[in-house]
Structure 1
Amino acid sequence: MPGARRANPERRMALREHLREARRRLVLACLGILVGAVVGWIVYDTVFALLQRPMEEVAAERDGLAALNFAGVATAIDMKVKISFFLGILIASPWWLYQFWAFITPGLTRVEKRYAFAFLGSAVPLFLGGAAVAWFMLPRAVSILFEFVPDGSASLIDAQTYLSFVMRFLLAFGFAFLVPVVMVALTFLGIVQARTWLNGWRWAILLSFTFAAVMTPTPDVITMIWVALPVCALYFVAVGICALRGRQVARRASTDPAPASP
């Protein structure tokens, strides 16, 4: 059919434009992280001292000597690059989160774009707040590394293993705290209904406690519960916001005049 033949090129062009926009936003996000990494490179010494402090404090409590061991010739420069990019992700979080929303907003109305900026305003503090929670838990996590070291002994810990663990620990909590923002965004875009999120509350609790069990190396249950509770609370807060949005949409639909019959 002529109409079908004409629609295929149009669909391909729309897909090509969509992919081009996604690539542009991804490049802009990476450039922002790169700029943040440059700042991270400059403040590396200060940040390295902060990352090393939990290990030194735990070692002091156990009357032991602890030090990071840079085993390879290029390990020191490799870790400096990794920590710089880790700091770049944190520093540039408002920028790359904005690029994510900007990729969605072209197809939205002016009012929906305002919602997108509201999501951005909540996503940044949640991401940084999740990293902050992980930072406060870090000393307890580090204590596991020294649990089986005899008192008065020296402990040489592989620098790459320790610092990689710390960075993954902080980023994992940051991204976990972004889940409620994604939930609300999908509901405001009409992709997922609030009832769907509510029906999945059992899975949400299970996944929250599984995440807490994996990310908290301490074997006690209390620490796992303290980690899982904020994640569960954020989930139900997001469900509440989604439910309010559903009521707002339903109320608006009920007040709209019915289309005139021909």
Structure 2
Amino acid sequence: MKTMSNQAANPEGRMPLMDHLRELRNRLIKAILALLVGTVIGWIFFTPVWDFLKEPYCSLPQSKDLNGRTCSLVVNGIFSSFFLRLKIAFIIGMVISSPVWLFQLWAFVAPGLYRRERRWTYVFMGVAIPLFFIGTALAYITVDKGLSIFLGFVPDDVSALITVDHYLGYVLAMLLVFGLTFELPLFVVILNLAGVLSSSRIRRSQRMIIFGIFVFSAVATPSADPFTMLALALPTVVLFEVSAVLAFLNDRRKARRPDPYEGLSDDEISPLELEEIDAELEREEQGRGDRRR
């Protein structure tokens, strides 16, 4: 934290390279400590989390042994069970400590951003996180459907021996694929707000984009069964249509703004609003003063 005298001497909030490296080191240490604490908590609460993760598989009749008694997953090797517990504890630790390491990341980057950039970052994170969790929730609901399709081919007198590593990898892949795919509409809106992708271009490429969503859903889902593909593709198409509507409304709003250069020839001086320019310069100066305090 800089003092008021340092701020007065350095109004732009600039920082030497070594100070940047020290700050990065301190924030990395805090993030790693938070991750270690979260991993310890995940190790303690391994049992309820594992019961939650294996519930989609254990709800299937094919998960029972030949006597129909209990849900059975197998491990290969002496140390497999230890590494399974460590892997799940680490995942829990990342989730639990995410407010800390996300804040450390933001605190390191934010001083170099202008106020408008910070505002858009807040909006992005406020929409991206719920979309990701909605996608993972849908994936969790869908896991047992995809498993039941393929395990349905197992004969009645055969017990399916599925390793814990394979099952955990399948579940985590489903959660990540669904969660990240649900971020696609958000990136469409951001590109439109940045002026990179117009609504007219979206309309022209709409059929190809929808076709690409279905192809991606068929390739990216671990099971690649029709039910899981549709469970991913259909909500993504709906979200894409919502983003296309938002892009159209944004382009129409920008089209209503008067163009200050309309009617001017190439060699004619454009009108300048000096008061607005002075206000903008003053805002930028204040934004630079907020950096690296």
Task: Answer yes or no: is the 8 Å Cα contact 1:101–1:116 preserved in 2.
Answer: no
Secondary structure of 1:254's aligned partner = coil
User: Is the aligned partner of 1:243 residue 2:245?
Assistant: no
Which residue does 2:52 correspond to in 1? 50
CA RMSD of aligned residues (A): 3.9
Aligned residues: 245
Aligned pairs for 1:210-229 within 5 A: 210-214=215-219, 215=221, 217=223, 219-220=225-226, 224-229=229-234
Rounded to whole Å, the distance in 1 between the matches of 2:188 and 2:30 is 22
Task: Answer yes or no: is the 8 Å Cα contact 1:28–1:99 preserved in 2.
Answer: no
Which residue does 2:235 correspond to in 1? 230
User: Is the aligned partner of 1:69 residue 2:74?
Assistant: yes
Using the TM superposition, name which of 31-40 and 199-208 deviates more: 31-40
2:271 pairs, out of 229, 241, 259, with 259
| Partner amino acid, structure 2, of 1:76 | S
1:175 is displaced (CA, Å) by 0.8
Rounded to whole Å, the distance in 2 between the matches of 1:203 and 1:230 is 17
Which residue does 1:172 correspond to in 2? 177
Aligned pairs for 1:32-47 within 5 A: 36-47=38-49
Cα deviation per residue 1:58-115 (whole Å; 9 max; x = unaligned)?
1368784541111111111222222233334544566667778778766654244323
Rounded to whole Å, the distance in 2 between the matches of 1:212 and 1:45 is 32
Which residue does 2:197 correspond to in 1? 192
Rounded to whole Å, the distance in 2 between the matches of 1:118 and 1:81 is 35
1:176 is displaced (CA, Å) by 0.7
| Partner amino acid, structure 2, of 1:217 | S
Using the TM superposition, name which of 162-171 and 115-124 deviates more: 115-124
Which residue does 1:159 correspond to in 2? 164
Which residue does 1:12 correspond to in 2? none
The structure-2 alpha-carbon separation of the partners of 1:202 and 1:42, relative to structure 1 and needing over 3 Å to count, comes to farther
Cα deviation per residue 1:9-55 (whole Å; 9 max; x = unaligned)?
xxxxxxx99x97xx78x958964665544443332211111222222
Rounded to whole Å, the distance in 2 between the matches of 1:97 and 1:243 is 32
Task: Answer yes or no: is the 8 Å Cα contact 1:90–1:128 preserved in 2.
Answer: no
Secondary structure of 1:167's aligned partner = helix
Task: Answer yes or no: is the 8 Å Cα contact 2:146–2:228 preserved in 1.
Answer: no
Which residue does 1:204 correspond to in 2? 209
Structure with greater helix share of residues: 1
Percentage of matched positions with identical amino acids: 34
Cα deviation per residue 1:191-211 (whole Å; 9 max; x = unaligned)?
433333333322321222123
| Partner amino acid, structure 1, of 2:72 | A
Rounded to whole Å, the distance in 1 between the matches of 2:100 and 2:133 is 13
TM-score (norm 2): 0.67
Aligned pairs for 1:49-198 within 5 A: 49-59=51-61, 64=66, 65=68, 66-91=71-96, 109-198=114-203
TM-score (norm 1): 0.73
Task: Answer yes or no: is the 8 Å Cα contact 1:141–1:216 preserved in 2.
Answer: no
Using the TM superposition, name which of 104-113 and 187-196 deviates more: 104-113
The structure-2 alpha-carbon separation of the partners of 1:68 and 1:96, relative to structure 1 and needing over 3 Å to count, comes to same
Larger radius of gyration, structure 1 or 2? 2
Cα deviation per residue 1:110-163 (whole Å; 9 max; x = unaligned)?
244323212211111100000000000011122145223221533221111111
Q: RCO greater where, 1 or 2, for CA within 8 Å and sep 6 or more? A: 2
